[in-house]
Structure 1
Amino acid sequence: MRALRTASLLALTTATLLAAAGVATAHGTRWQQVGHTTAENRISGEGLTTLRLPGHAPELVYRNGATIPQPLKDEGWGHVGDPDSLRGYVFDVYQDTRTPTPSTKMYLVTRPDGTTTEFVHPLLADEPAANANAQVAATPDGQWLVSGPLGEIDRLYVSPTPFLNPRGPKVAGDLPVAARIHLDHHIRSAQGCDFTGATTLICATSDPYNDLYPTNLQLLQIDLARPLTGRDVTARVHEIGQVPLVSTCTGTFTPEGVDYDAGVLRVEVVPPSPCNTVTDVYSFERR
């Protein structure tokens, strides 16, 4: 979320843990880099997800400020976060950039037929107003959406998935918080997250510091104590390693979206200017 950066980092010009060795490990899980591609920054740089529509080939969908429909901008939704997709539905998260201290955040759900519905959620007392929506991830069973803000946090928020969960709304209105994921270790500026299993989330951060974890710009694994059911749950956080920082330019790298689909984990990293005309997308598989 480049518009929301609060700190900068002198970037390395050589590969870091994930790119140099091609392997990251968290509790026995090994991720091997298997690919690298780029996407033009006119459409990318805020998030990505794999969309699977019946009768169509899988499509990698990117998000960027320029992809926000003008009617949503007119309503004040000026920032879009990392999306997710499941069963042909696309789930987007929006931040109110018109109000100095936002009191709401918005989830936009695009159904397989292309129709959209806005779910505007009034922020609760423990939901930070600034950077109110950074990313959203759908559980593999499609029943729950997990979202969170930037900044340093100790919890993520769980809501019933519209249209897919019987407890979720089916018409425009509030998308209530049903539960919280309480993290055993703080995380800072998680830009993108996705589920790789019923109890495992992988998140990429733009945290420029190494006070919380051994490296900055971390790739984190969040292990839930149990699958989500709409009640609070605890979770352990482990650092997998640092996201790839590979560029001929020096300056600030910004990790953004995370996508997991059909066994492939994708991590989106915006390189420093002037190389940021494209967004790097690194692919990993379990080994």
Structure 2
Amino acid sequence: MPLRTRRRRTATSAVLVALAVLAVLSDTPAASAADTWTEVGSDRADPLTESQGLASVEVPAGSANRYTGIGTIPLGVSSRGWNHVGDPDASYDGHYIEPYQRDDGAAKMFRVQAPDGTWSEYTHALGSGEALNNSWVAVSPDGQWMLAGEYGTMNRLLVFPTPGVNPSTSPSANLPQVSTVRLDHAVRDVQGCDFSGPTTLLCSSDDPDGALFGVTKPLLQVDLSAPPSGTSDVSGQVTALRQLPLRSACSGTFEAEGIDYDRRTGTLRVIVVSPGFCVLTDSKTYRFTRG
């Protein structure tokens, strides 16, 4: 075979191999696209008032971090059947939102505190096939859209106009689901999510099984194909980043709870409730920074 022909075929083979590798890589989620988070400290989480969720509030300036637990539900709210509060969030203009559910499963409620301190309630009638759980809320960085999650094994996140912020909302009208985040990978028992960027969510999963991602109680990252809106669905690529800390003087089942990302400091916080009677002594809010 002439040398020139051999070199041409060798070069062609190399190009084909390179194209094949690129094709494989293009279909594989890039591990480098996912953030890594390093534990930097922890604080005790009170089982009554800090066991469900947490949120950092930017407005008014100097506002304290907010927490939810069974002990934070007002009597006037629980007496009307709203007996579970989930992981809250706050919009960047200072509206603070708590998600509530009730046992009858007819509706969900979002309790909103405006920056001036006044409270209002927005209810959402469950759609067909929608789970009654109202585990968490996450307000988009533009403030106009609010994501919420159901418990169990799910392939979606729900999108609503942000109550009290989006001008289409009113306490006297049903808060509608306007679109959906379609996940490329099932998630289980998500207890909280928060935006760390316009199209990036960080989520805490209480998954006790580990079959979905090869680890129990994972910290998840969801990369959206576009910012959420009220006009069309978006897709979400799910990546498991790490297992959340599971440390206690007691053995048994831990419970991963709410999550918060404070964009002012870049600090991620996640609540993990300890098993058994140690729920009273060494449940923690763990702090992480990007590694």
TM-score range relative to shorter protein = 0.7 to 0.9
> Residue type of the partner of 2:100?
Y
Taking the aligned partners of 1:82 and 1:173, their CA distance within structure 2 comes to 23
Taking the aligned partners of 2:76 and 2:249, their CA distance within structure 1 comes to 38
Residue 170 of structure 1: CA displacement?
3.5
Residue 51 of structure 1: CA displacement?
1.9
Residue aligning to 1:94: 100
Taking the aligned partners of 1:151 and 1:28, their CA distance within structure 2 comes to 24
Residue 27 of structure 1: CA displacement?
2.9
> Residue type of the partner of 1:80?
V
After TM superposition, the structure 1 stretch with the greater mean CA deviation from structure 2, 27-36 or 213-222, is: 27-36
* TM-score, normalised with respect to structure 1: 0.85
Residue 29 of structure 1: SS of its match in structure 2? coil
Is the Cα–Cα contact under 8 Å of residues 26 and 221 in structure 1 kept in the other structure? no
Identity of aligned residues (%): 41
Residue 229 of structure 1: CA displacement?
2.1
1:33 aligned to which of 36, 39, 51: 39
Asked if 1:273 is matched to 2:276, the reply is yes
Residue aligning to 1:204: 204
Taking the aligned partners of 1:159 and 1:126, their CA distance within structure 2 comes to 17
Taking the aligned partners of 1:31 and 1:39, their CA distance within structure 2 comes to 20
Residue 180 of structure 1: SS of its match in structure 2? strand
Q: What pairs with 1:129-208 in structure 2 (closer than 5 Å)?
A: 129=132, 132-167=133-168, 169-208=169-208
Asked if 1:103 is matched to 2:106, the reply is yes
> Residue type of the partner of 1:199?
T
Structure 2 stretches lacking a partner, 5+ long: 1-30
Is the Cα–Cα contact under 8 Å of residues 181 and 232 in structure 1 kept in the other structure? yes
Residue aligning to 1:44: 50
Cα root mean square deviation, aligned: 1.5
Q: Which has the larger radius of gyration?
A: 2
Residues 251 and 280 (structure 1), Cα distance of their counterparts in 2 relative to 1, 3 Å cut: same
Taking the aligned partners of 1:209 and 1:26, their CA distance within structure 2 comes to 26
Is the Cα–Cα contact under 8 Å of residues 161 and 178 in structure 2 kept in the other structure? yes
Residue 40 of structure 1: CA displacement?
1.8
Which segments of structure 1 move beyond 6 Å, counting only runs of 4 or more? none
> Residue type of the partner of 1:143?
Q
Is the Cα–Cα contact under 8 Å of residues 122 and 170 in structure 2 kept in the other structure? no
* TM-score, normalised with respect to structure 2: 0.84
What is the aligned length?
A: 256
Taking the aligned partners of 1:79 and 1:190, their CA distance within structure 2 comes to 15
The structure whose residues are more often strand, as a share, is: 1
Residue aligning to 1:229: 229
> Residue type of the partner of 1:125?
S
Is the Cα–Cα contact under 8 Å of residues 36 and 241 in structure 2 kept in the other structure? no
Residue 28 of structure 1: CA displacement?
4.5
Residue 26 of structure 1: CA displacement?
6.4
Residue 108 of structure 1: CA displacement?
0.8
> Residue type of the partner of 1:276?
V
> Residue type of the partner of 1:268?
I
